[in-house]
A and B are shown apart, each in its own frame.
Chain A
Amino acid sequence: MNAQADNPKILLVDDEAAITENLAPFLTRAGFTVSVANDGVIALELISSYQPDLLVLDVLMPRLDGRAVLRRLRQENNTVPIILLTQVGESVERAMALEEGADDYLNKPFDPHELVARIRAVLRRAQPGVQPLTTAQQLVSGPLMLDRTSQRVYLNQKELTLTPKATMLLAYLMTHPDELMTRDRLLDAVWGWDYPAGTRTVDTRIAELRRAIGDDSTEPRFIETVPGQGYRFVASVTSHTESNR
């Protein structure tokens, strides 16, 4: 391994040797320094000694599974960025993963290039010591506020009427600001499935969101259209944990 000292350090946690043996060299070539753990217990031990910049964490593992590792780290106020590799794949399960404080997740089997893109995006977003947006109770962007616990959205302190899908979509966009979101990725994250015409479904909900938050698609304050590619939440987002009122 010709890893450079300033390469981001990734801890890859998966019990399946066939995966780590193939994925670790790939991530190394993509410019990361990679260390491997075969289960959650080893991962927890390595985190304190290895001090990784990011964890790629499988969910289903013997001894201590990925979600338990995630919970334990967050309880200890460890904000190391985590990308979960889910395979149960239930959309409820995935939403839960984000609520428990994962920075992102990928469904197995995934495109390894997609994993690299996600790692880079999460690393870019993460600031040491600052609570990641994905674990924030409230997401605030200028006059727009989304309370994730109650699933309510406010604009200038006035509550908006949104369908649950539109709220989930807004939450996903706000937790990934400045990141290009393809329609396929949004479909997968919010709807849990994709199909040929599904991308139109995304457009419909984006239109609903824009109407509700008063965003003009030609001069967007919040959601920008990236022609031929997808959408991007362009405004800056901050997290609040204290309850509102």
Chain B
Amino acid sequence: MKRHWLFTLIPAVVGAIIVLLVNLGVGIPWTRVEGSINPRLTIAIAATMSTWGFTVGIVLSTILITVAQLWSWRIRTQTKLEDQKSQASAERREFLQRLDHELKNPLTALRAGLANFSSIDSPPSGSQIKILNSIEEQAIRLSRLTADLRKISELENRPLDQYPLDIGQLLEEVFELIQDQPVARQRKLNLNIPQAPRPLPRLMGDWDLLILAFYNLLDNALKFTKPNDAIDLRAREEGEFVSVEIADTGPGIQAEDLPHLWEALYRGDAGRNVAGSGLGLALVKAIVERHEGSIDLDSHPGQGTSVTVRLPIRDD
């Protein structure tokens, strides 16, 4: 960080080199008058050149110092931002855990209270039953939310069941699973897993969790597309990674929603009427990150969305 002050020495060094050159008698051809050196002219020219050298040096130093300052300032802001970001996500996680905790006891009591209605001596009437059922439905929905919150916090901490796995086979299984959904019949689903020149390399991973992650991504694609839309699941080797892409011809995602998609409980406008807890993508992200992979999303409103998961190739 302090090294860039050395640039201030540049003018002095340039000046010194020129004076040295002159003194060494290398001379400058046009200082020779009739074959002999004209000392006055030599000194005058040397002085002019030193001045120029000095000026150029000062300009150079100023530019270099400014650039160096800006660079270190940028790096500092970047690290600060990253720190803030990771702190914020840790705080959010802790908050969700606490929320989960605080929801559990009241929900247990609520569900026990509701269960009491079905077994009391004067059972509720038809219209009361309808109201009670609706309350119970919402209590179950909240219970599911706490279960999903638990899953995410668990995923971030618990050890993985990692084994060498055939990612092609895994994707084939997910592809088969998703077709059990009736809505899948109204989409054009394509699977593309390379066999030539060689099959995909093996990965280290938790089979069940990766199935869960890819299932969620395909499930999302199903939810946000309409009949006759296409959904492609394709994989390929990409350097040290296997890249798996899930692409669809759905409505795409608005740019303002993109940065928040991976946050727990975030829902964009398009997602408000879609069933789900709002934790699916956060769960996917947690799973991919536990596998030291990365996940990227590219979307063009009106055209479609593609999600790319990169998992490191390892077979140890």
Contacts and interface: CB of A to CB of B under 8 A. Distances in A.
Given A92-B158, A109-B108, A25 B116 contact: yes
B154 A29 contact: no
Contacts of A19: 105, 108-109, 112
Interface stretch (A47-55, A145-153, A170-178, A188-196): A188-196
B161 A111 contact: no
Contact of B212 (A91, A92, A164, A195): A195
Interface string A190-230: 01111111101100000000000000000000000000000
B150 A164 contact: no
A25 B117 CA distance: 11
B161 A163 contact: yes
B177 A87 contact: no
A26 B151 contact: no
B262 interface: no
Interface residues of B, number: 39
B116 A191 contact: no
Contact of B113 (A22, A191, A192, A201): A22
Interface in B108-134: 108-113, 115-116, 119-120
A89 B158 CA distance: 12
Interface string A156-193: 00000001110000000000000000000000000111
A18 B67 CA distance: 65
A16 B102 CA distance: 12
B269 interface: no
Contacts of A89: 150, 154
A194 B144 CA distance: 10
Contacts of B120: 29
Sort A-B residue pairs by CB-CB distance and give the 3 closest, nearest first. A109-B107, A22-B112, A18-B109
Given A21-B109, A164-B161, 14 more contacts: A19-B108, A23-B109, A25-B116, A26-B112, A29-B116, A30-B119, A92-B159, A107-B147, A109-B103, A109-B104, A193-B147, A196-B215, A196-B219, A197-B211
